[in-house]
Amino acid sequence: MRFLFVDAITGIGEGTISGYRHFPVTDPMQYVPHAGSAQVASGAMCEAVGQLASWYCLKQNKFQSRPVFLFADSIDVLKPVYVGARVDLRAEIHSLEDDAFRFSGEALVDGEVCQRINDCGGMFMPLANLEDPEVAAKRFESLCSGGLILNGAAGSPYPFANLVGEILAHDEGRKIHARRTFNASEPFYADHFPRFPVTPIVMLNEMIGQATVRMLGLSRDTALRPLAISRIKIRSFVAPGDSCETVVTSQGIRTVGSRKLLDATAELIKDGKRILRGEYFYEVTE
């Protein structure tokens, strides 16, 4: 399965870009609930909007440099998206400079916003260091002229079901500390990026979500519904072979009316240094 999340680009304006992605039933980034249709992981929507914004930047700088996302003010998950859905994507680029960018974006199903990314920013890296610029340019042309159909393309599904790894410490409901080593053969590295493989931030976010499920002792990933992530920032890449520790802490579940809500803070640690931090807000549905 390719780690490419834009099927077609449908419009480019001054500081705006739109497109769509059809999430196939075979998409590995999905969670299967007790009953009902499988849901697309919220990280997949983030990746789709982020990749769309990347295409805008790449076109503007003539495929010289690719954006690398480093921080976001907030990501709001407003509605679940089910596999099989066509998700419309749009992004607004707030600033685009030689070395930095900022954008916001949305994922919509049937005209309703399902997920919103607010004020995401980062820096640029030379595209040739990451992938073949000619291949990227051709892919862009193809996306703009009817779409690039890659769904169901050959390749192993990435190991999405268990991203947590080894549990090092666990205080149920309050804290979990886990460690996972990213194997060089993880399939997402083939596209992210061919010449400079790094673990996508959205996979790290999903790893944090899955660790939180384990922290709470829930039986299924779908028992924890992400509502928002705020003040997320990554300071270093997670490369193939890197060991990454996840530390999630929380004051515990709080009840608001009939809802059970959880605020958690998560950090990722690599080589003893904190490389990611964010605040996560969930609803517990189990």
Partner 1 sequence: MKTIERVRAVIADALYADLDKVTPTAILMADLGAESIDFLDIMFRLEKEFNIRLPRGEIEQKARGQLSEAEFAVEGRITDAGLSNLRVMMPEVPAAAFKANLHLREIPTLFTVGTFARMVQEQLDLEVGVNVSSTADTAVPLS
What is the contact surface with partner 1 in residues (CB under 8 A)?
A: 70-71, 97, 99-100, 102, 119, 121-123, 231, 233, 235, 277
Nearer to partner 1, 123 or 161 (CB): 123
Q: Which is nearer to partner 1, 31 or 101 (CB)?
A: 101
- Structure tokens, 40: 């697309």
Give least dist CB 32 to partner 1, A.
Answer: 35
| Long-range CB pairs of 92-101, under 8 A, 24+ apart, other chains included | 92/15, 92/16, 93/15, 93/16, 93/17, 93/53, 93/56, 93/57, 94/15, 94/119, 96/15, 96/57, 96/60, 98/124, 99/123, 99/124, 100/124, 101/53, 101/57, 101/67
Nearer to partner 1, 39 or 246 (CB): 246
Closest separation in Å from C-beta 143 to partner 1: 28
Q: How far is the CB of 237 from partner 1 (least distance, A)?
A: 11
| CB of 250 vs partner 1, minimal distance in Å | 16
Q: Provide the minimum distance between the beta carbon of 276 and partner 1 in the complex, in angstroms, as a whole number.
A: 11
Cβ 122 to partner 1 shortest distance, Å: 8
Amino acid (1-letter code) at residue 1: M
3-state secondary structure 22-81: ECCCCCCCEECCCCCCCEECHHHHHHHHHHHHHHHHHHHCCCCEEEEEEEEEEEEECCCC
The nearer residue to partner 1, 102 or 225, going by C-beta atoms, is 102
Distance of CA 42 to the CA centre of its chain: 7
Closest of 43, 97, 38, 98 to residue 72, by C-alpha: 43
**Would you say 220 or 235 has its CB closer to partner 1?**
235
Shortest distance, position 95 Cβ to partner 1, whole Å: 8
Residue with smaller CB distance to partner 1, 100 or 161: 100
User: Is the peptide bond between 23 and the residue preceding it cis, with omega within 30 degrees of 0?
Assistant: no
Displacement of CA 116 from its chain's centroid (Å): 12
Q: Which is nearer to partner 1, 19 or 67 (CB)?
A: 67
- What does R_g of the chain's alpha carbons equal in angstroms? 18
